[in-house]
Amino acid sequence: MFGEVPGLPYLPELPARGVGADLVGRTAGLLVDLFVEVQPSGWRLSDRPGRDHQRAVDHLRRDLDGLEEVGDGYSGPLKLQVCGPWTLAGAIELKYGDKMLADAGAVRDLTASLAQGVADHCAEVRRRLPGVTEIVLQLDEPGLPGVLAGTVPTASGFGRLAAVEGWRVEESLRLFEAPVVHCCAPSVPFGLLRSAGVRGISVDAGLLRRRDEDALGEVIEAGIVLFLGVVPGTDARLADVGVVAKPVRDLWRRLGFAADRLAGQAVLTPACGLAGASPRYARAALAACKKAAQVLRDDPEGEGRVPVGGQR
């Protein structure tokens, strides 16, 4: 991470390690005064911290030890990512009953606990890496469109939980300091996220549709940064960096914004994490994003002034 994306390194997640290293379990280990355990149906609240909860805590502690060693002497911004409150509420079950998402009071408690746990996590990272000038917090919310649309299944799987009002989502996101919200699902709620005051929105560029472009334009006009997933998140043949950059440049042109604004407001990323990628591909994907971003910075109009793949 520090080698391939030195401008914005991040603490990676490695879910293949098992229980507690997955998106939900890793974040649940940060919760304050709420504990979880694994049941056959998935993660569930428990009365006290048990083995599963401790595994999540231990995984993250080891990761922070590695971060402290590799990042010794680093100065600059650092990105941390956690599961967002609504995806978390749709994944964790109450001790006796349905998912936390079914209980508005439980969601409020979960969100407050997560906000405090994330603040403590950020403080711990700053203590270990005193040279970090800014922490960019990313909330992973792949389940948010389903929460808003009322399509999240109940714990039994035979029904659907009621749709959540947008204002409740907005209020919850304001508990986190200017986050980047990542949503790799279709129907990203751009307007809601803009109203919530997020600093950035991370999406799979391949899922964007023309009907999203008006909302995208309003997001850009508001000064929000777009993190655009432009290369596959799992092993695949990577296109030339000019090909990777072209859809972003074309999108910017259709939206009618000045080309010189592109490099300052668009970040190129893998489509949705690299958890399923080989280490070799992960390195190549990050390098491709970095090189494509350089193309957009040096040649935002696409006039061919910068060599791409060995050609002008």
Question: Residue 214: enclosing H or E segment and its boundaries?
Answer: helix 213-221
Hey, where are the domains in the chain? Answer: 76-298
Residue 221: Cβ-neighbour burial (10 angstroms; 0-12, 13-18, 19+): exposed
Whether the Cβ atoms of residue 52 and residue 38 lie closer than 8 Å to each other: yes
Give the model's pLDDT for residue 30.
97
Q: At how many degrees (to 10) do helices 104-128 and 166-173 cross?
A: 20
Rg of the chain (C-alpha set): 20
How far does the chain reach from its first CA to its final CA, in angstroms?
30
**Helix/strand/coil percentages in the chain, nearest 5:** 45, 20, 40
Residues of the chain falling short of pLDDT 50? 306-312
Smallest CA-to-CA distance from 37 within 21, 18, 50, 24 is with 50
Q: What is the pLDDT of residue 243?
A: 92
- The pTM (predicted TM-score) of the whole model is 0.93
Q: Which of 199, 1, 173 is nearest to 87 (CA)?
A: 173
What pLDDT is stored for residue 123 in this prediction?
97
Give the model confidence (pLDDT) of 89-124 as tens digits.
999 999 988 999 999 999 999 999 999 999 999 999
- Comparing CA positions, the residue from 176, 247, 186, 252 lying closest to residue 220 is 252
Cβ(229)–Cβ(274) below 8 Å: no
CA separation (Å) from 248 to 9, 261, 267? 22, 12, 10
Structure confidence at residue 299 (pLDDT) = 79
Strand order in the sheet with 76-83: 76-83, 132-140, 180-183, 200-204, 225-231, 266-270
Residues 297, 55: Cα–Cα separation, whole Å: 43
Tens digits of residue pLDDT in 218-238 = 999 999 999 999 999 999 999
pLDDT at res. 305 = 52
| CATH architecture, domain 76-298 | Alpha-Beta Barrel (3.20)
H/E segment holding residue 51: helix 51-70
